Structures are given as C-alpha cells and as structure tokens.
Amino acid sequence: MLITPHALVGIAIATQFDRVWMVAPLAIGSHFILDSVPHWDLDTEDISKKDVFISALDVGLAIFLATILTWGNSDWEMMWLGGLSASIPDAHNLLNALYNSPKRLKKYTLVHNKYHYGKYVRFLPGIALQLFVIMMSLVVMSL
Ligand SMILES: [Zn+2]
C-alpha cells in the first residue's frame, strides 16, 4: 500500500490513544494489516524511474497531509509518531533501492512480503480502496 494511507491510519490511531506504548505498536501493526488487504502498489522488485517519481509524490503527499492535519494541534507529536510508526515498515524498500538489497534487509523483506497481498490488483480498484482508507482515517480523526 502507498505511504499516504499508512501514515493517515497511523495519525488516526494516535488521535484515539494517548500513550506512546499504545500508539507506536498499533500503528506498526496497522501497516501489516493494511498491506494484507488487496490493493494496487508499486513494483518494489524492479524499480523504474516512474516508480521513484510516484513514491516521491506519495511521500510528499503524506508529509503535506500530516503537516496540515497536525498544524496547531496540541497532540502533534503523538500524531507524527503514529504516522511515522505506520509508515516505517516500508523503509526497507528505500534502503533496498539505494543499497541494492543488503543481506540483513533480505530477511526483513521476506517477513514484510509474507504479510503483503501478493496478487496483482488493477489500478482503479486498488487506488479506490486506498482512498477509502484515507477517508475513513479522516472520519476517525474527527471523532
Ligand atoms: Zn508495507
């Protein structure tokens, strides 16, 4: 799944809990649950320039939305913790791309992929689900 829905779910979790020891593990756990749902995703095995461009847009959008949602909020630190905790399980993709799949990361990548929905999902239904996740996160944040 793209980083933006992961980050917003993490932020939504942070709006519902006020303890770091609850927010960080729940946000990390949400990452693997969301990855197991059928969704459209970038090819992380054979990364093209288009994939890098879309990833940069995705991360930029996540940072932009997190900034808007947390701006002036007294719980901004917890919200950023939730957003980052929910996103960090995908950091291995960046490290794999930059350092050509270091050995230590291969084990983690295998574990991560074990929870990842493995079948191809077409773009429109796969993105629609991610937009739905984003909208539900915004609803939870407003509670
Ligand atoms: Zn992931």
The residues spanned by each domain of the chain are 3-142
Query: Residue 45 to residues 11, 90, 101: CA-CA distances in angstroms?
Result: 28, 13, 10
Average pLDDT of span 100-118: 83
Q: How far is the CA of 30 from the centre of ligand 1 (A)?
A: 10
Assign 125 a pLDDT band (cuts: 50, 70, 90): very high
27-60 pLDDT, tens digit each: 999 999 999 999 998 877 777 888 889 999 999 9
66-102 pLDDT, tens digit each: 999 999 999 999 999 999 999 999 988 888 878 876 7
Q: Does residue 28 contact residue 81 with C-beta atoms inside 8 Å?
A: no
Q: Exposed, middle or buried: residue 110 (CB in 10 Å: 0-12, 13-18, 19+)?
A: exposed
Q: How far is the CA of 34 from the centre of ligand 1 (A)?
A: 8
* Residue 88: per-residue pLDDT: 96
Q: Which residues surround ligand 1, an ion (CB under 5 A)?
A: 35, 90
Q: How far is the CA of 112 from the centre of ligand 1 (A)?
A: 7
46-58 as b/e: b if 16+ CB within 10 A: eeeeebeeebeeb
Q: How far is the CA of 116 from the centre of ligand 1 (A)?
A: 7
